[in-house]
Structure 1
């Protein structure tokens, strides 16, 4: 496998994960995209905002290509930000604004990915000193893993909101079944869990 093929494969899967995340917001109200549905506050729009910051950091700042001009970064981005400030949207931050930032982060990241070889050296300032210097290849794998992890969170949060599930519109990657099928399936799993738990 050539370097170009390897990079293209990683980039393809990253682009696919990006699209899957945004699909999870389709058709939802402002309330629903912001609802914290886990004890740690996980919400759909916050996941988008967080992953925009991830891409801007790893593919921008780490390669000497900051997205935000000096002194112009929002208060939730970078050093000194409140804990978890990138994991939720304020009432003043619109869904459109955050989605647009994510699109801009893709473009900024894609420029780095497309213009640099996989062994290009990046420096991640927030990593421990001994690991701070790394490669584009490692960061591509890291961001792809983190993005897919958060897409999994989004899958579950969206399912809690309205029962929607699957990978992409028209490509759900789930067995066919209506609401009745899934209710029966879930009840079966509950019975098995209770049986196993009672042993």
Structure 2
């Protein structure tokens, strides 16, 4: 068994989640990448915009490595949840490129600093605002994976596309009729369980 570099492992998992999040935008119209699909407004492009800000914050600013990227939606006085959706003027290309620059900046921080480097999270309460780089990377990884899961569901609702990557969907094969029968079976099981409760 060979030893692995923990930072390389974290970066590999983080990059996989980043790639999955961006793949969910491919082939969709401007409307579909922006449209709110939940009562709270969750949308694909907003998830990417949010993820960019998370990386620039936790893996940049927190460790004294500001990126210089303007993020007006995170400034004091900005509209609540402005990082979770894109205005009509904010292009998909602009947000995707921001996200790519954010992850390059985050990766540079991961490479430059030892994992036990302590940073300060200015948006956490005083006295509870210190975090190691290792813990910050784990937090960003968890956040990105969580939002990639949200994106999985949103994309499936939009056009039926599923999976982490185009070449690895991670679900058993089945034609539309098989999936419809499978879903119907689950619906029947849920109703039966509800009746038996």
TM-score of the two chains, using structure 1 as the length reference: 0.94
Cα 1:3–1:63 change in 2 (3 A) is farther
Q: Residue in 2 aligned with 1:35?
A: 35
Q: Residue in 2 aligned with 1:11?
A: 11
Q: Secondary structure at the match of 2:116?
A: coil
Shift of 1:5: 1.1
Distance across 2 between alignment mates of 1:50 and 1:3: 34
Q: Residue in 1 aligned with 2:107?
A: 110
Distance across 2 between alignment mates of 1:114 and 1:33: 32
1:85 is aligned to 2:85: no
Cα 1:61–1:36 change in 2 (3 A) is same
Distance across 2 between alignment mates of 1:125 and 1:167: 33
Q: Residue in 2 aligned with 1:179?
A: 176
Q: Secondary structure at the match of 1:42?
A: coil
Decide which of 141, 148, 162 is 2:138's aligned counterpart: 141
1:63 is aligned to 2:78: no
Provide runs of 4+ in structure 1 moved above 3 Å. 1-4
CA contact (8 A) 2:53 2:71 kept: no
Unaligned runs of at least 5 residues, structure 1: none
Superposed counterparts of 1:127-166, under 5 Å:
127-166=124-163
Distance across 1 between alignment mates of 2:80 and 2:165: 31
Shift of 1:181: 1.2
Q: Secondary structure at the match of 1:38?
A: coil
Unaligned runs of at least 5 residues, structure 2: none
Q: Secondary structure at the match of 2:167?
A: coil
Shift of 1:6: 1.1
Shift of 1:78: 3.3
Comparing 139-148 with 59-68, greater Cα deviation is found at 59-68
Q: Residue in 2 aligned with 1:23?
A: 23
Decide which of 164, 186, 192 is 1:167's aligned counterpart: 164
Distance across 2 between alignment mates of 1:180 and 1:61: 50
Distance across 2 between alignment mates of 1:64 and 1:81: 23
Kindly report the root-mean-square deviation, in angstroms, between the aligned alpha carbons of the 2 structures.
1.6
